[in-house]
Structure 1
Amino acid sequence: LCSIFDIEQTLARGLSGLQLRLEQFILAYNLKYFEIN
């Protein structure tokens, strides 16, 4: 049970980290787009 919980915690942390990176990527992309126009 404990190991399953650990795996779920790691997955949740990985997903939130991925979401954060995606948001940063979109932000940077938008900034570049606005600089061009």
Structure 2
Amino acid sequence: NGQLFSWLDNRKSVDDVFKLLKLRRDKYLALASRKME
């Protein structure tokens, strides 16, 4: 939760957050990962 609020406070866009999490690189396959459950 703290990281989310930090991103929001720093005005990070969804695209910025996805870049930070490197979700764009694998075309969102990471979202289907069991690690995200």
- Give the TM-score normalised by structure 1: 0.30
Q: Name the structure, 1 or 2, with higher relative contact order (CA <8 Å, separation 6+).
A: 2
Q: If you compute each CA radius of gyration, which structure gives the higher value, 1 or 2?
A: 1
